[in-house]
Amino acid sequence: MATIHIRNLEIVTLNEDGTLLHDADLVVQDGRIALLGSAPVDLQPDEVIDGRGKVAMPGLINSHCHSPMTFERGWAEDLPFDRWLNEKIWVGESALTSDDVYWGAALAACEMIRSGTVAYNDKYFYMDRVAEVVRESGMKAALTWTVFGIGEETEMGRGLAGTVEWIKEMHETGEGRVRTYLGPHSPYICPPEFLSRIVEYAHELGQGIHLHLAESEDQVKQSLERYGLRPVQHVNSLGVFDVPGGCVAAHCLAIDDTDTRILVEKDVHVPHCPITYMKLAMPFPPLEARLNAGVNVCLGTDGPASNADMDMFATLRQTALIDKYQSLNSEMIPGDTALRMATQNSARALGFDDMGVLEVGAPADLILVNIDAPHMRPTHSLIANLVHSAKGADVTDVMVDGRWLMRARELKTLDERRILYEAEQHAQSMVQRGMSQVREYKG
């Protein structure tokens, strides 16, 4: 692969020392970062790019989402949670086809690349179609095919056995850009025997597990009634955290100190999706206890039917703002902490442990952000400006494994015009079909 030389950059490395480089060079060779600092005069790159007025930083990583759900963006607004779910989300999804998933996921990929996301942890149905999007887009992703374990008729696409076959075919394909997780929905839907079977499969396949966990006090109460254990302790007792590929437990909003200790001991990755919690009016605690205890809290958008966007810059800022407000402590979540949660911490949750930092030898998974704009001036603090003032639209260029996915705001791998058209058609048609089915059923 080519040698790419980007000059005159500000560089936010997010390495251990938090090194910032001013007016520096960044050289990419064979898909990895070959140099940061000052390029030798005899360098003979295939491509030279002027980075003046731009900052290079690690690409953002979305640690928990349901990307195809762009098809329900803006379709379930300002409703209480149960009506949001029962009258809208599930009604639309009842008519879901594999093609809806493909176009919804493709739309999400356009949005993610445009707002500086290079990798995502996606959990949904018909994930064979999302894998197509990952391969075509050039992004990296960990993919989880959600299963319920409460009757074949609820499984969209494939049951557990089917998703196991799919994982065998899929894991570490796409030049290593596609990883997989086993995907029980949650312990409040999946019976314990079903979770145990998944744990067995995980050991057999060398895989991890990605599930929803402890989203509310109601779930805690239900779990105590059913199993005599809180959700975290219940799934821990089933071995969910001891699987070879590790565990991603989204949300963990209703946890106590014992739960927190278990999450740390078992090195569980905990995606935090504040915009979704706020929009759906879900109670959630500030992050201090979890961060201080050493939980790997990472950032995600959750699905676009609840968040309304897949823009990790929006989530980055919201994470800092809501935590300062919740804890009534403006020192919480300084910019650097927020950035690491959205890069390195998220990278670990996807199993791409070498992502999320700019250093020699790391994969060239990076973004350029325009700082030559009114809202990014003055530059007293590049970090503060990136977290609190930058927007997804400030990202000008996106590179994964040394390949441009976006150059100067132009998508290089996806046919955006066609995707905008098809995604709109499929989304409208899907929710119409869903509503007709419900009317027939009720009639």
- Tell me: does residue 423 bind a second copy (CB under 8 A): yes
- Tell me: does residue 22 bind a second copy (CB under 8 A): no
Residue 9: CB minimum distance to a second copy, A:
18
Phi, psi of 109 (to 5 degrees): -65, -40
- Tell me: does residue 397 bind a second copy (CB under 8 A): no
- Tell me: does residue 280 bind a second copy (CB under 8 A): yes
Q: Which of 189, 393, 435, 438 binds a second copy (CB under 8 A)?
A: 393
| Span of 103-111, 179-187, 228-236, 351-359 interacting with a second copy by CB under 8 A | 103-111
One symbol per residue from 208 to 227: x for binding a second copy (CB under 8 A), - otherwise; what is it?
--------------------
* Stretch (H or E) spanning 244: none
- Tell me: does residue 438 bind a second copy (CB under 8 A): no
Pairing status of strand 247-251 against strand 208-213: parallel
Residue 249: CB minimum distance to a second copy, A:
22
- Locus of tokens 């639209």: 393
One symbol per residue from 54 to 93: x for binding a second copy (CB under 8 A), - otherwise; what is it?
----------------xxxxxx-xxxxx--x---------
Residue 153: CB atoms within 10 A of its CB come to 7
The answer to whether 94 and 434 have CB atoms below 8 angstroms apart is yes
Residue 407: CB minimum distance to a second copy, A:
17
- Find, among 387, 417, 413, 415, the residue nearest to 398 by Cα: 413
Residue number with CB closer to a second copy (80 or 244)? 80
Distances (CA, A) of 414 to 128, 182, 288: 18, 28, 40
* Stretch (H or E) spanning 300: none
- Tell me: does residue 440 bind a second copy (CB under 8 A): no
User: Alpha helices, DSSP H only, in 49-159?
Assistant: 81-83, 90-93, 98-114, 127-137
- Tell me: does residue 311 bind a second copy (CB under 8 A): yes
- Tell me: does residue 283 bind a second copy (CB under 8 A): yes
Please, is 204 exposed, middle or buried when counting C-beta atoms within 10 Å of its C-beta (0-12, 13-18, 19+)? exposed
One symbol per residue from 148 to 177: x for binding a second copy (CB under 8 A), - otherwise; what is it?
------------------------------
| Span of 146-154, 258-266, 280-288, 351-359 interacting with a second copy by CB under 8 A | 280-288
* Distance separating alpha carbons of residues 27 and 364, to the nearest angstrom: 9
One symbol per residue from 334 to 353: x for binding a second copy (CB under 8 A), - otherwise; what is it?
xx------------------
| Span of 26-34, 38-46, 142-150, 420-428 interacting with a second copy by CB under 8 A | 420-428
Please, is 191 exposed, middle or buried when counting C-beta atoms within 10 Å of its C-beta (0-12, 13-18, 19+)? middle
Give the angle subtended at the CA of 384 by the CAs of 382 and 389, to the nearest 5°.
95
- Tell me: does residue 102 bind a second copy (CB under 8 A): no
Residue number with CB closer to a second copy (240 or 371)? 371
Residue 253: CB minimum distance to a second copy, A:
12
Q: Which of 266, 391, 412, 433 binds a second copy (CB under 8 A)?
A: 391
**DSSP codes of every residue in 115-138:** TTEEEEEEEES-HHHHHHHHHHH-
Q: Which of 4, 156, 247, 275 binds a second copy (CB under 8 A)?
A: 275
Phi, psi of 433 (to 5 degrees): -60, -45
- Find, among 197, 132, 152, 114, the residue nearest to 367 by Cα: 114
What is the DSSP-derived secondary structure letter of residue 209? E
Number of shown-chain residues binding a second copy (CB under 8 A): 70
Residue number with CB closer to a second copy (319 or 343)? 319
**DSSP codes of every residue in 345-397:** IHHHHHT-TT-S---TTSB--EEEEE--SGGG-S-S-HHHHHHHT--GGGEEE
Q: Which of 35, 229, 291, 321 binds a second copy (CB under 8 A)?
A: 321
- Tell me: does residue 277 bind a second copy (CB under 8 A): yes
Binding residues (CB under 8 A) for a second copy: these are: 70-75, 77-81, 84, 107-108, 110-111, 114-115, 275, 277-281, 283, 308-311, 314, 318, 320-322, 324-325, 327-335, 372-375, 377-381, 384-385, 388-389, 391-394, 416, 419-420, 423-424, 427-428, 431
